[in-house]
């Protein structure tokens, strides 16, 4: 059976982009693959986190994976930091990663911005930790959003460099697995920025645990423009916010936008927004209810996470031992 690995940073409330760009794809893949899914709490540390909130967000992220339909029988769910092999392998891989590769990473450039010298080293070496996350589990593919493609590519480069340096094939070169048309969900306030759980404006995103009224209000206030609803795809050109709302509708309903152009084309935005709010509320209702149930039954949740940690640890430990043997670390 093929294996996949993926994760989400536990930096806040999981949002619609995390669901449509990542979790929903994992759910589709879980019947035919072995899944290792983690909450990336070590990655979260590249931005200062309130300690209590970080611990809570990590548990909530894993509960949300289950609430979105991940099966505890099919997947190993675990917090990244509970498998110490991630950080250990990262150091070894750092010694096989060129600065040139890191300098090309667009995420560092975007996140560090003009304050490059003030940015912490973790933000810069983040791709090496992500390579370690992936390579430890030898997955065939990594289902993530478009924005993470470059990170999977560098993980392949690092794996190849390591394998060549020692004349081994210990690491499998993982494939990037992007899925579906609406992999990039944009902010409700700015159609050119990605919807993000750490955007200071809560109104910019739909959180997966938002209640129906909050969702309705956020969609009502979502930015559009002074025009009317488009009647065809050409009329969406240069209108990123409008395109984004249409994409969200189509991604959630798995429908083609054609019927939206027919139903709402030429009208003011409010009827479409009402319909979109309904779609969001009804799609997220079962997720929110299951999430609340899981969070109210901590023993069960912690037991599922404990099982996931055991399974992940067994695989990670084995790979790290192989690597240590190859590179000649002292065994005693």
The question of whether 197 is a catalytic residue gets the answer: yes
The question of whether 111 is a catalytic residue gets the answer: yes
Choose one: 12-20, 68-76, 312-320, 322-330; the region binding ligand AQP (CB under 6 A): 12-20
- Listed as own residue / partner, the contacts of 42-49 with beta carbons closer than 8 Å and 24 or more positions apart are 42/80, 42/81, 42/86, 42/87, 42/129, 43/7, 43/9, 43/80, 43/126, 43/129, 43/130, 44/9, 44/10, 44/11, 45/122, 46/111, 46/120, 46/122, 46/123, 46/126, 47/11, 47/198, 49/11
Q: Does 9 bind ligand AQP (CB under 6 A)?
A: yes
85 CB contacts (<8 Å, ≥6 apart)?
132, 136, 313, 316, 317, 319, 320
Report 212-241 residues binding ligand AQP (CB under 6 A).
none
Q: Does 11 bind ligand AQP (CB under 6 A)?
A: yes
Cα(76)–Cα(144) distance, integer angstroms: 17
Choose one: 17-25, 239-247, 270-278, 324-332; the region binding ligand AQP (CB under 6 A): 17-25
Q: Tell me which residue of 33, 324, 298, 28 sits closest to 168, measured CA to CA.
A: 324
Cα(257)–Cα(11) distance, integer angstroms: 33
Cβ at position 33, least distance to ligand AQP in Å: 16
Q: Does 148 bind ligand AQP (CB under 6 A)?
A: yes
Q: Does 18 bind ligand AQP (CB under 6 A)?
A: yes
Cβ at position 11, least distance to ligand AQP in Å: 3
List the x/- string, 107-146, binding to ligand AQP by CB under 6 A. -------------------------------------xx-
Name the strand (E) or helix (H) holding 156: helix 149-166
Closer to ligand AQP by CB, 58 or 264: give it. 58
Cβ at position 149, least distance to ligand AQP in Å: 9
Residue 146 DSSP class: G
| 102: number of Cβ within 10 Å | 16
Report 22-51 residues binding ligand AQP (CB under 6 A).
22, 40
Cβ at position 330, least distance to ligand AQP in Å: 35
Burial of 142 (0-12, 13-18, 19+ CB in 10 A): buried
Q: Name which position in 17, 79, 230, 308 contacts ligand AQP (CB under 6 A).
A: 17
Cβ at position 257, least distance to ligand AQP in Å: 18
Residue 187 DSSP class: P
Q: Does 58 bind ligand AQP (CB under 6 A)?
A: no
Q: Name which position in 5, 8, 35, 134 contacts ligand AQP (CB under 6 A).
A: 8
Q: Name which position in 57, 196, 236, 319 contacts ligand AQP (CB under 6 A).
A: 196
**Cβ–Cβ < 8 Å for 63, 291:** yes
The question of whether 194 is a catalytic residue gets the answer: yes
Q: Does 185 bind ligand AQP (CB under 6 A)?
A: yes
Q: Which of the residues are catalytic?
A: 111, 194, 197
């Amino acid at each position: 059976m093929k294996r996949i690995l993926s994760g989400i940073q536990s930096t806040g409330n999981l949002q619609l982009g995390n669901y449509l760009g990542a979790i929903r794809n994992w759910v589709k893949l879980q019947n035919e693959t072995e899944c290792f899914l983690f909450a990336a709490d070590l990655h979260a540390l590249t931005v200062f986190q309130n300690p209590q909130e970080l611990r809570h967000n990590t548990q909530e992220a894993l509960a949300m994976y289950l609430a979105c339909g991940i099966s505890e029988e099919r997947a190993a769910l675990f917090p990244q930091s509970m498998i110490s092999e991630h950080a250990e392998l990262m150091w070894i891989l750092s010694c096989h990663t060129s600065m040139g590769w890191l300098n090309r990473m667009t995420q560092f450039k975007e996140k560090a911005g003009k304050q490059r010298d003030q940015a912490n080293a973790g933000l810069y070496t983040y791709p090496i930790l992500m390579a370690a996350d992936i390579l430890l589990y030898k997955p065939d593919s990594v289902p993530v959003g478009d924005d993470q493609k470059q990170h999977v590519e560098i993980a392949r480069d690092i794996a190849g460099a390591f394998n060549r340096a020692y004349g081994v094939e210990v690491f499998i070169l993982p494939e990037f697995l992007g899925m579906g048309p609406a992999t990039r969900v944009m902010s409700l306030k700015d159609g050119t920025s990605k919807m993000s759980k750490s955007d200071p404006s809560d109104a910019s995103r739909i959180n997966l645990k938002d209640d129906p009224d909050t969702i309705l209000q956020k969609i009502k206030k979502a930015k559009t423009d002074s025009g009317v609803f488009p009647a065809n795809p050409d009329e969406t050109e240069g209108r990123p916010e409008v395109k984004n709302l249409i994409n969200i509708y189509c991604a959630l309903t798995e429908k083609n936008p054609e019927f939206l152009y027919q139903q709402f084309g030429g009208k003011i935005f409010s009827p479409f927004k009402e319909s979109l709010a309904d779609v969001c509320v009804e799609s997220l209702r079962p997720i929110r209810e299951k999430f609340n149930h899981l969070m109210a039954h901590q023993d069960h949740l912690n037991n599922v996470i404990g099982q996931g940690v055991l399974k992940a640890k067994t695989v990670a430990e084995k790979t790290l031992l192989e690597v240590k043997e190859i590179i000649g670390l002292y065994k005693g």
